[in-house]
Structures are given as structure tokens and as C-alpha cells.
A and B are shown apart, each in its own frame.
Chain A
């Protein structure tokens, strides 16, 4: 910025320069604030739209409390469908300590959502939209919830920070977490799904509601717990379905479930009578994938892809991880030799229904 040659316009140019730098600084600072410089303000504002719920439970492993999100000014509360709200009396506590008794409006069994209602007006709420954009992986988020029931009385719900680690269908998680919901979820990099967290609110650092913390899910296989949230667009569809009395709404962008079974490939296994019945082929249906791949009766299936299977149950489980379009490659033992058999790809759901 040293001035060497003075053009007639140099002075005005300098003023502009200084002005530009100033403006840049101010705008950057402002935008920094929007980026989440003020987590406190965002948290406090979001917490006013989140409620603590107290219902039935308290028995080992089943909590009697959870969280809910206010979704209308007239007291509609969206929460996770769980045993906690399976109660005649559901107590609801707002951020400012106001207490209500909530009634159940309806439930969406597929999304495992429930709508409750308290009687009041002009309540703060989050407006949920069915066309909310998907949040990018890496987005910084805040999770607000009644975790562990530590926020008693008029205390504010707990606030945790994290990052969206993935956006995937829930059932894509290997390890079969038991959940009815099979749509997309945000996987979070922090432990947000704790006792009391279901129904909690996921917001960005700008304070927009982008999802709801789901039920606690624990893998039956490796005992890990999943921290995830159901995205807002799915919530909006569920809310609309419940309020309009429809209950068979399909999930947004639902991926076709690959619920094909071994039979649909055209192969029959020996009767599964034992815990570890070996996956011996009993018979092959002509003109099917199995027949085309030249599978034969008495073949023993020992692997799906790279994964060894030792039982029919194991085989079914491995196949359940595949989604339409995935290649199906089996290793079999025939006459003491291992043979690789290519069965093509997993058929799409419609295609395979059509065949039936």
C-alpha cells in the first residue's frame, strides 16, 4: 500500500481501498457470528422450542422421560414413539418451567414418531418443512435433549455439540440395529443418543432445526450404540401424515428394501431345523438366477462375497446387507472343491415383486 506514483485518481482509489478493507472486515465478522460465534444465543433460542416429557417407564432399560420439539404455536409436540409416552398422563415441561399435561394426537409407526398436544397459544415452535435441504456432511450441529433427565424443574435441556458424519439410510448400518424406521438419517460424531434423548432437537449453529434425535439403538451384534437424527423433511412428512390421519405414508426417498430371500433367487435349502443348519442346497428352480448360475443340489454355500457363512441363519443375514444392484457372489463347496458362483445382482423390489 505504499504510494509511489500519484495518479489523479489515486486518492479516491485509496479511500475506496480503505473502505473496501473495512467493509470486508465487518462482513467477515458478521458472517463469523452467523457461522456460530454465538452458540449460547442459538442454544437458548432453540431450547425455548424444546420440551421435556415425562411419562411411563422407569423399568430397567426403559426410560420414563424423553424430549419433544414444539412444532406449532398451538402446542403440537413432535417426539419419538416410545414406551415413555405410552402413558395416560404425559407431563410436559417447557424451557421456562411451565408445566402441562400432554395428550397423544397420533403416531407414525413407520417413522416411529408421535405427536402430542398441550393446550396453549403463541408458543415458540420450529416450522418443519418437507422440502428442507439435506445438510452437508461436516456441518456443525448442536443437539438439545433431556438426556439422563438431569435437567429437572425449570432447568434448560442439555446441549451438546457435534458434526454430521454421514447421511445414510438407517438400515445400511451393519449390525442390524432394531428399528422400524428405515429412511435416511444423519449419523453424528458425538454421543447424542442417551437415555432421555429421543425426541431431542438437532439444530445448526445458525439455529435451524434440521432433525430429531431418534430412539436409542444398540447393535445386537457388537453392543455399540448409534447416535443419529431423523432429518427434518422426514419429520415434516410424518407430522403431516399424523395430523391428517393418514398412517401409511411412504418414507421420503425411500430406498427399495432388498427384502429378497434365498427362494427368490431360485434355490431351496435343506430344512432349517437346527441352530447351525449348514446352508446345503436342496433343489434349484429352473429358469431362475440360481439355475442360470449353475448352482446344483447338494452344493454347500460357504461364503457370500468375502464373508464366510457357516449356517443358514448366517447366510440370510449376510444377504440382508445387500441392497438392490449389489452383486451376489457365492462360494460353494461341490465334490470337495471350492467354486465361485456369480448370481448377477440383487433385483430391485418392484422387479422382484413382478416376478412373483
Chain B
């Protein structure tokens, strides 16, 4: 069998022919004879094994052993060189804000809680003490197939007292599995099922594919009547769900999952139809009704009720997603803002791990300090962690929101979309797609638009005084839902680069931009002023390509969508603008001329 090495080919061709026939036969008939350590082992087998060893060696370096003292512990996996790591909510919940984490370099690192997703059983923590942590590349869990090789790496039964993680190999047993939540928590939607061992303590650790890419976060297993040990059916949160929440979690949020405000059922002919819908939901406002057939959700086809739950279960509250439905044979597409499963107050209680009576917490109240590891008295934290922790209602750790906000500010600054001089006013002229010309003028405190239907004006002072709301000026031009106010906020962001901007600005998380062909997620900043709320979608180049604007506490939005960016002088400016109000197209503007001129 060594004959397949060129070096040892003999002179007699006859012998070679025999070898050629023999090897495949042997290989087919009795694969088990090629045991490791045998000199006759096929080179392919050896190289496969070497590759596996190599992959596991690299992946094991990214594995985090979480120790929470008497509260137990679990596993985690590093996903960036600056120390961000993923783990389960149910691992950090007893551990608290500060924890100790071991890597297989044999060292213990201090770690701080960054973000929490109690519904999805996910958490982000950050390890401290190194500039270049080894980290796992995140793979695409949607291309994982049943039968793919996989490895679970972690700290089962908290065995890793020497900080060396345990590795278990197996195959993917099922994809797109749905595991029911306990109450509203720990829902595993669209998850991966594996027969690689997942035992207590593996929670939060990485599930890797054969290339060493992170395809899931292990966190759950079927136990039932056999006790809490692996019985060949473990579940991992898919890496694509992780990606959806990563921006939200890395920025210190207490994340929530989404609801459509509608339930679905399978009809007699096997279609997925709306069986009930809340009239207060955005979905209803955008036109979805009972008996409509759901075809697509967030770009994925809905072929069963289970698929519907799977898709929805992986989406964060607040995402704007397309819904395609069919009524009377005709398909339509709407964009819906997903509501949260919980109220912020409910989430806060869930984070604490116990539900207080509903009367105790009114929305907007800051939480009362409780003896809760996730809301500690900062004085009780280690010095190192205290500097990295800032409690705030609705957040797991607001400190990291500031960090993400600064990162996006830097991106915006680099892009240079506008002059930083405020005394200039901006003017755009051009044609409407529906016919006719328009002119827009934007200043710091006011905006004017001239349309074929007339001239409209918006002023900050009037909005602040609440005077114009009654007169309808806030939402001018009429029927746009506040296009002028939204453009003014957009202009302020471009000029000030999110610094010293009036109102409170936070980093919201990441959302997809469905208008682009790529699945790239955009950073979203949220600006709250006394009269309105705006969300700015910023792509990787620093372009603000979308603005969702809410007037007052209204949940109907005015959506500005900018396309066709081109350089005007030194600045990047759009050439097209579409404006939608509450899902209906208000107008499309083609900018033929735009200028930033001194007053």
C-alpha cells in the first residue's frame, strides 16, 4: 500500500496494477482496518486526522472556561482579538457582572459582562488583560448541513480546573430546530442539533465546523428521564442568530426578541395563514389581515408554522423587516417594525432572575437596587471591573454603549459627508419621480420644502414648544410623517458626526439594509429629542443610507432612504431620496443640484 507514494514505485508494472485494484477494494470493504499508528494507514486518512488536530488546536485556544465560584460556571468562546466572548445568559446570570475566565494558555483573566439576551440565552462578555486574544471566526450557520462534522469545545462538568477545555466530536443531527422556551425565556429557535456531547458546563461554549469556524453556541440538551448527561441530542444557538444580536449585545444592551403581533396557523390546504393579529401592531397598520398567507419573513421563505417561529425567534425587537404575504392570489411586500416580546421593565426583572410584582416597576422608572449579581453595587466590584461598568435602565452595561458610539462616530468623521461649519444651509433642487420639480432648504433650526402642491416649513422652536403639533406642522410636508424634521436631524448628524448633538444619542445595534444586495448589517444610532426619535442606519463606509423617524411617541414612522451617493466637492451626498410614511410611498426625489452655501 505504500506504493501510492511515487518514491517507492517498483519496476514491475504488473505489481502496480494489482495494487491499484486492491486499495480501493480494501478501503470499501473494511475501513476499520486502517487504524491510527499503523504504518500502512492511507495518507488521506492521516492528513484528514492531521487537519482535525490542527483545527481543534486552533479552536481550543479560543475556548473560555467561565468560573463563577459557588454559583457554578460554564463555557464561552472568544470572537475578537480585543477579548469579546460569547456565552449563555444562564451562565452569566448567576456569575454576575464580574467573572473569572480561563484560557488554555493556562491563565485566568478578569472579565466583565457586556450585553445580555435573556430570551435567546445569549450573553457577551469581555476578557481583560491582553491586546491580541486568539479568537474564532464566525461561520454561516445557514449553510450547515445534516451530517457535517462538528466539535463542541468547553468546560463540561467544570472539569477544566487546569484550564484545558474538553473537546467532543460528532455530526450535525438536525438543522433549523425549534426548542420551546421556558415561559418567555431561553427560546432556541432555528438552532442546530448535534450528537457531539453537550453536558452541563458546556453551556456557552463554541460549536465548530470542520474548518474551525464558529457555527453555534452550545447551550441546551434533551435530558428528560436519563438524568443531566448527554444522550446524543444537544442544541446550539445558530451563529447567524448570534450575528443578528451581536451589535446589540456588544453595545451593552439588554436585548429583546421580536414579535410580529400576529399568530399564524396551517390552513387545511397546508398554507401558513394569519390566524390572529393585534390591531395595535405595526403589522396591522401596514395592512396585514387575518387569513393572509405569509410567504416570506425577513427574506426567508415561510413554508410551515415552525419555519415562521424559527425565523421570528432569531430576530431582535426593533428590526425593520420585509414581510411578503398573499391575499386573493396577489402577493404584496410590507416593511414592518418588530415589537418586543417584553417591556423594558419586564426584561429588567428577568435579568434579575426573578419576577417582581408588576406594580413595583413602572415603565421608565429606574430600577431599585436589589441583591442581584447582574445589578451590583459598583463598590462591591473589583477595581478593574468598576471602570468598565456603568449601570443604566434597559442596559446590561452602558459603558459599552459609549464605546460603540465612539466607534461609529469615528467612522462618520472619516467619511466626511458634510462641512463641519454650521453656518451653511443646504439646498437641493430636482425632479420628483411622480413629475414636477421641488426645492428643499435645510438649516440648523428649520427646513423648508417647495413642492408642486405648495410650500411647507418646519421649525425646531415650534416643535419644542409643542405648538405646531396641533397645527400639523411637525409632520410637514403634509402626508410625509415628518420628512422635514427627519432631514434636519439627518443634517445635524452629518455635520456634527454625532458629537454635541442636541438630544440623547445612543448606539442602537445593527440592522440589515434590505435595499442593498448584500447581507451586510448597518450600524444604527438612535437620537432622542424632546419632540422626536430618529434612527440612523450607517453602512460600513460611514454613509447614512437610511433614517427612520418617529414623531413624538408615535409608532408610525417616516422613512428616508438615500441612494446613489456621489461626491459634491469634498463631501459625499446622495443623489436620490425616497420617503415613505407608514409603509406608503410619499415621494421619490432626484437631486439634480445640491449645494452647501454660506448664509
Q: Are A192 and B20 in contact (CB under 8 A)?
A: no
B3, B224, B233: residue with the most chain A Cβ atoms closer than 10 Å: B233
Give every chain A residue within 8 A of B543 (Cβ-Cβ).
none
Q: Please, which residues of chain B bring their CB within 8 A of the CB of A40?
A: 145-148
Residues of A102-153 contacting chain B, CB below 8 A: 136, 138-140, 142, 147-148, 150-153
A191–B176 CA distance with the chains assembled, in angstroms = 22
Contact indicator A27/B23 (Cβ below 8 Å)? yes
Are B28 and A31 in touch, CB under 8 angstroms? yes
Cβ of A194 and Cβ of B233 under 8 Å apart?
A: yes
Q: Which of B201-209, B298-306, B444-452, B475-483 contacts A (4 or more CB under 8 A)?
A: B298-306
Chain B residues with CB below 8 A from A225, complex form = 226
Chain B residues whose C-beta falls within 8 Å of the C-beta of A160 in the assembled complex: 170-171, 173, 195, 232-233
- Tell whether, in the assembled complex, residue B173 and residue A35 are in contact, meaning their CB atoms are under 8 Å apart: no
- Judging by beta carbons under 8 Å apart, are A39 and B147 in contact? yes
- Tell me which residues across on chain B come within 8 A of A140, comparing CB atoms: 31-32
State the Cβ distance, B265 to closest chain A Cβ, in Å.
Answer: 12
A190 with B195: CB separation less than 8 A: yes
Closest to A36 in B: B31
A3-37: contact bitstring with B at CB < 8 Å (1 yes, 0 no)?
00000000001001100110111011111101110
A1, A17, A61, A155 pick with most chain B CB within 10 angstroms: A155
A21 to B9, CA, bound (A): 9
A161 is an interface residue with CB less than 8 A from chain B: yes
B123-146 to A contact mask, C-beta < 8 Å, 1/0: 000000000000000000000011
Q: Are A192 and B304 in contact (CB under 8 A)?
A: no
Q: What number of residue pairs across chains A and B have CB atoms under 8 A from each other?
A: 141
Whose C-beta in chain B lies nearest to the C-beta of A21? B6
Is B370 part of the contact surface with A, judged by Cβ < 8 Å?
A: no
Q: Does A156 belong to the interface (CB within 8 Å)?
A: yes
Chain A interface residue count, CB cutoff 8 Å, equals 54
Distance from A9 Cβ to chain B, minimum over Cβ atoms (Å): 10
Given contacts A27-B24, A34-B28, A97-B304, contact A39 B171 (CB under 8 A): yes
A29-B23 Cα distance, complex, nearest whole Å: 11
Q: In whole angstroms, what is the CA distance A23 to B16 when docked?
A: 11
User: A28 near B44 (CB under 8 angstroms)?
Assistant: yes
Contact at A158–B225, with CB atoms within 8 Å?
no
- CA–CA, A25 to B177, complex, Å? 39
A136, B32: Cβ atoms closer than 8 Å:
yes
A16 to B16, CA, bound (A): 10
A147-B233, A154-B303, A160-B173 known; A28+B146 contact, CB < 8 A: no
B212 to chain A, nearest CB (A): 19
Instruction: Answer yes or no: A43 CB below 8 A from chain B CBs.
Output: yes
Q: Mark B292-322, 1 if CB is under 8 A from A, else 0.
A: 0000000000011111000000000000000
- Chain A residues 202 to 243 lying within 8 A of chain B, measured CB to CB, are 205, 225
Is A159 interfacial (CB 8 A cutoff)? Answer: yes
Query: Nearest Cβ distance between residue B471 and chain A, in whole angstroms?
Result: 53
CA distance A194 to B193 in the complex (A): 15
Q: Assess the B230–A191 pair: CB atoms within 8 A.
A: yes
Residues of B within 8 A of A147 (CB): 222, 232-233
> Which residues of B167-190 have CB atoms within 8 Å of chain A's CB atoms?
170-174, 176-179
Q: How far is the CA of A327 from the CA of B89 in the complex (A)?
A: 60
Residue B4 CB within 8 A of the other chain = yes
Q: Which residues of B lie under 8 Å from residue A32 when comparing CB positions?
A: 27, 44
Quick check: is A73 within 8 A (CB to CB) of the other chain? no
Does A42 lie at the interface of the complex (its beta carbon under 8 Å from any beta carbon of B)?
Answer: yes
Distance of A153 Cα from B23 Cα, bound (Å) = 44
Minimum Cβ distance to chain B for residue A24 (Å): 5
Instruction: Determine whether the beta carbon of B174 is less than 8 Å from that of A24.
Output: no
User: Given that A35-B28, A136-B30 are known contacts, is A159 also in contact with B147, CB under 8 Å in the complex?
Assistant: yes
Q: Give chain A's interface residues, CB within 8 Å of chain B.
A: 1, 13, 16-17, 20-21, 23-25, 27-32, 34-36, 38-44, 47, 61, 97, 136, 138-140, 142, 147-148, 150-161, 190-192, 194-195, 205, 225
**23 A-B pairs with C-beta separation under 8 A:** A16-B16, A20-B16, A28-B27, A28-B42, A31-B24, A35-B27, A36-B31, A40-B146, A40-B148, A43-B146, A47-B146, A142-B171, A147-B232, A148-B222, A151-B177, A153-B307, A154-B306, A155-B174, A157-B174, A159-B174, A160-B170, A160-B232, A191-B231
